[in-house]
Amino acid sequence: MTFRPLMSDFSAAEKEARALLRSLQRRDLAAAGRYAAFDAFDVSPTRLADAQYLVARRYGFKSWAALKSCLTRPE
């Protein structure tokens, strides 16, 4: 049995990362707060890679690459 995160679709992870980036660029502190518990970070990341990292950490992965690998490999 392989571990699958709550999110089973990589495109959903990509959308979540892009939405998070837009929220953080608007300085939406509520959005930042939802992710702060998963990793200490500067509240104003400006790169998509930063948002991707936070999404990966939220789902228990050490990196975006690890999340992508899990969600895109065949079951």
Asked, for residue 5, whether it belongs to a domain, the answer is: no
Task: Provide the terminal-to-terminal Cα distance of the chain, rounded to the nearest Å.
Answer: 9
Share of the chain above pLDDT 70, in %: 75
Is the residue at 4 inside a domain?
no
Section 37-52 average pLDDT:
71
Q: Is residue 67 part of a domain?
A: yes
Task: Establish if 40 belongs to a structural domain.
Answer: yes
User: 15 is in which domain, residue-wise?
Assistant: 10-72
pLDDT over threshold 70, residue 51: yes
Higher pLDDT, 36 or 26: 26
- Domains in the chain, number: 1
13 pLDDT higher than 70: yes
Give the C-alpha separation, 43 to 71, whole Å.
27
Name every residue whose Cβ is closer than 8 Å to that of residue 7 and which is 6 or more positions away in sequence. 13, 16, 59, 71
Domain-embedded: residue 30 = yes
Would the pLDDT of 44 be above 90? no
* Residue 3 placed within a domain: no
